[in-house]
Amino acid sequence: METHGVGLVRTERLEIDRPPELDSGRRLERICVAYETYGRLNAARSNAVLVLHALSGDAHAAGRNLPTDRKPGWWDSMIGPGKAFDTDRYFVICSNVLGGCKGTTGPSSTDPKTGLPYAASFPVITIRDMVMVQNLLVEHLGIDRLLAVTGGSMGGMEAIQWLLSYPRKVGSAIVIAASLSQSAQNIALHEVGRQAIISDPNWRGGNYYGGPTPSWGLAVARMVGHISYLSDKSMQSKFGRNLRNNGGSYAFDFSEEFEVQSYLEHQGLSFVKRFDANSYLYITKAIDYFAAEHADAVRAFSASEAELLAIAFSSDWLYPPSTVKELLKAARVAGRSASYFEVPSDYGHDAFLLEATAQTPIIRAFLRNQEARTWPVESIYI
């Protein structure tokens, strides 16, 4: 089966006037949503798959926006003809989340009331707020029911929230490396990152736009986060205790002596070139607020006909297999069909982005089953 890419794609924009009230009780006058689509919506509008991104992701999930782009979208290995989310069969949608910094309204966006960036005046948001905006986009595209919602990490939380908020609008959910709630340890890791940003002198209460940015604080936050995305085994095999200097002797100072130190600094400084520090604060806070109780999940599955596929990775200590399985239990208590796969991997939490070969046959088979369950024969095309 051929697995070439989706080619050149364009990021679209949707302007939403007078959107609903947020969980905080506040309301934005207008929300812009950046999104991309891949494949073709069938005549029955029954083949739509909503892809949901993780903390640092965006709407650009596959293909290239320009021929000169060095890299394709963040999940290009999974989206395209013949891939897990086969664009010869499915209409795939991906949007940047509310609070982001890649085209969807967030703290770096202009407040229409002041003509200045929202900065720290932007309302604190939740995963439910993000999903509410995604639902408005799906409605705009004329889709009443999604064949599937899917995502890894925070994207998996969004998929769970879709089941909670709109159980009748979701045919199935593919939740990857995510759990029903954020753990205390994960909240603590986020807090260290937020404090690094807030403590940077250039943060200035969030009002740094137009001047020096809190780049070092954001870089440190990314370093902390990146450690949690890897496994001990992968870090050991990649870096060990290797020193940067060829002599192999200690410098007896506080320079970057170890290869792993250099790697983390590179990851941090690369991140600040593409992400906004305030968005990092807002999105991590939204993740920390996420908590779907077992009883809530059971009610959501009971109110829908959605089938579940949950995927975990053996070395993921951020969202270990034991926590991913909790969603499976809720689905089965509600009498829903639910499948669970644990993929052996040394990549840690990052495996959901890197283990395309292992995930593809699992997801492909699951989606084909959803087609057979929900599509009228005349709506299917290849």
Handedness of CA 181, 185, 189, 194 (dihedral sign): positive
Between 323 and 379, the higher pLDDT residue: 323
Q: Which domains does the chain have, with CATH numbers?
A: 12-181+291-379 (3.40.50.1820), 186-284 (1.10.1740.110)
- Give SS3 for 141: coil
* For residue 254, pLDDT beyond 50: yes
Q: Write out the DSSP string of 53-84.
A: --TT--S--SSBSSTT-SS--TTTTTBSTTSS
If you average pLDDT over every residue of the chain, what do you get?
94
The per-residue b/e assignment along 18-46, b for 16 or more CB within 10 angstroms, e otherwise, is ebeebeeeeebeebbbbbbbbbebbeebb
Q: What is the pLDDT of residue 379?
A: 33
pLDDT greater than 90 at residue 9: yes
Give the residue-averaged pLDDT of 302-321.
96
**DSSP-based helix, strand, coil % in the chain, nearest 5:** 40, 15, 45
Contact between 308 and 173 (Cβ < 8 Å): yes
Round to whole Å and give the CA distance between 78 and 63: 11
For 267, the 3-state DSSP assignment is helix
Q: Which residues are catalytic?
A: 153, 316, 349
pTM: predicted TM-score of the whole model, two decimal places = 0.95
What pLDDT does 378 receive? 35
Average pLDDT over residues 108-112: 97
Q: Summarize the confidence of residues 319-347 as an average pLDDT.
A: 95
Question: pLDDT value at position 2?
Answer: 42
What pLDDT does 381 receive? 30
Residue 372, C-beta contacts closer than 8 angstroms, at least 6 positions apart: none
Q: Span 297-313, mean pLDDT?
A: 94
d(CA 203, CA 288): 21
pLDDT category at 246 given cuts 50, 70, 90 is low
Neighbouring residues of 71: CB distance < 8 A, sequence distance ≥ 6:
none
Q: Is residue 123 over pLDDT 70?
A: yes
Q: Which DSSP symbol is given to 204?
A: G
